[in-house]
Structures are given as C-alpha cells and as structure tokens.
C-alpha cells in the first residue's frame, strides 16, 4: 500500500494537489475537513457536534476525529492506498494513525509537507473565501486556524522526521510544478 500524508498549513494547497495525486496513483483521498463538512451539511449527529468548533477555527477533539478517520479507512477495504489530507493535525492523531495502520498490517509510507509562507496563505484563503463562502475562511477565524496550526499541528513534523519519513516540497508556484515535485517524491518511494 502507498499511504501518504499530505501535510501543510491551511491554504497550502493540500486539496488541489490531493485531487491530482489520487487520479495519478489510484489512491483514496481522506480529507477530514471535507468529511466534517459533509456531516455538517447532512446535519448528522457528528455534524451537529462539530459545526460550532469548526466555524470558530478550532480543532475538533482528537477522540472524535480519530474515530471518524478509522471508520473512513474501514469503509475502503479495497484501497490500494490512502492520501491523508488534514490528518493528523496533532501528535496524538499521528500516534493513533500509526497504531491503527500497524494493526491492519500496513504503515505510513511517507509524509510530504507543502512549504508555504504565511503571507501567501493569507492571500490564497482570502481569495478562496470569495468563492467557497466557508465561514472558517473569514479573517478572524483564519487567524485562529493558523494559531492552531503553529500551536499544535506543527509538532507532527518532528514526529515523522524522527521516523525518517518527512520530505518538504515548495508549495509556492505553479500547480503543475508543485504536482511534479510531489510526484517525484512519491515515485522515489516505489523505487
């Protein structure tokens, strides 16, 4: 299996690149943000539980997120591999993911972190909000999300670095250039 974590701050381009990568490598895309948003729009119990948390730009508690993620993996028993996008966002999530994959006879192949400056992130998300209308893309909520990223999520990087699984890729530039760089990293795993 090829299990990839696509890592980066809000607005790094994880969603855009994931779409291209799943097509090229025949992987299942698991975006915890997308799954949460689907629960919210379908008004499920889980959706009701998390909608306020997400709208404010806070992280959903690990217990909820991890249970949802494991459920999502179980629903795809035929998958050749997964792209995890927006997960893990805390070290506890990273540890839970490792334990779950190991229990299922697999592991994280590699982690690719998209490197983008804060200035570019803010600019991209301001643009996205005009189109998406996502409440959590509003300036004050975005500030909270960036704080969550630098407060909690950034610590996931040394966790994977210690396992020798981390590669950084420049996330600024043409979509196709970034995609080619990501593909080169992934092709290196197969080699």
Q: Are 114 and 17 in contact (CB under 8 A)?
A: yes
Stretch that binds ligand ADP, among 19-27, 58-66, 72-80, 158-166 (CB under 6 A): 58-66
Q: Does 59 bind ligand ADP (CB under 6 A)?
A: yes
Contact characters 100-139, ligand ADP, x per CB under 6 A: ------------------------------------x---
Of the residues 134, 144, 152, 165, only one is catalytic, namely: 134
Of residues 135 through 164, those in contact with ligand ADP by CB under 6 A are 136, 145
Task: From residue 44, give the alpha-carbon distance in Å to each of 48, 59, 63, 78, 122.
Answer: 6, 19, 17, 26, 31
| DSSP code per residue over 94-112 | HHHHHHHHHHTT----EEE
Is 128 annotated as catalytic?
A: yes
Looking at beta carbons only, is 105 or 130 nearer to ligand ADP? 130
What separation, in Å, do the N-terminal and C-terminal C-alpha atoms of the chain show? 14
What is the distance between the alpha carbons of residues 67 and 167, in angstroms, rounded to a whole number? 27
Looking at beta carbons only, is 27 or 46 nearer to ligand ADP? 46
Paired strand residues for 84: 5, 30
- Nearest of 18, 60, 30, 31 to residue 175 by alpha carbon: 18
Contact characters 37-56, ligand ADP, x per CB under 6 A: ----------------xx--
Is 124 annotated as catalytic?
A: no
| Unique residue bearing structure tokens 């990293």 | 185
Looking at beta carbons only, is 14 or 182 nearer to ligand ADP? 14
Minimum distance from residue 10 beta carbon to ligand ADP (Å): 3
What is the distance between the alpha carbons of residues 174 and 115, in angstroms, rounded to a whole number? 14
* Residue 28, token pair as written in the block: 């299942």
Residues found near ligand ADP in the complex (CB under 6 A)? 10, 14, 32-33, 36, 53-54, 57-60, 65, 86-87, 89, 93, 136, 145
Catalytic positions, written as ranges = 14, 89, 128, 134, 145
């Amino acid at each position: 299996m090829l299990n990839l974590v696509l890592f980066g701050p809000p607005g790094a381009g994880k969603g855009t690149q994931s779409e291209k990568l799943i097509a090229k490598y025949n992987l299942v895309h698991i975006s915890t943000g997308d799954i949460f948003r689907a629960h919210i729009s379908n008004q499920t119990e889980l959706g009701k539980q998390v909608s306020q948390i997400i709208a404010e730009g806070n992280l959903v508690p690990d217990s909820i997120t991890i249970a949802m993620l494991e459920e999502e993996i179980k629903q795809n028993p035929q998958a050749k591999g997964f792209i995890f996008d927006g997960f893990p966002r805390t070290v506890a999530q990273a540890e839970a993911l490792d334990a779950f994959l190991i229990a299922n006879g697999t592991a994280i192949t590699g982690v690719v972190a998209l490197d983008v400056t804060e200035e570019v992130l803010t600019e991209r998300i301001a643009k996205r909000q005009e189109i998406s209308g996502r409440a959590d893309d509003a300036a004050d909520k975005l500030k909270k999300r960036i704080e969550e990223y630098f407060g909690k999520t950034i610590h996931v990087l040394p966790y994977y670095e210690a396992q020798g699984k981390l590669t950084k890729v420049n996330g600024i530039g043409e979509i196709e250039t970034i995609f080619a760089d990501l593909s080169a990293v992934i092709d290196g795993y197969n080699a």
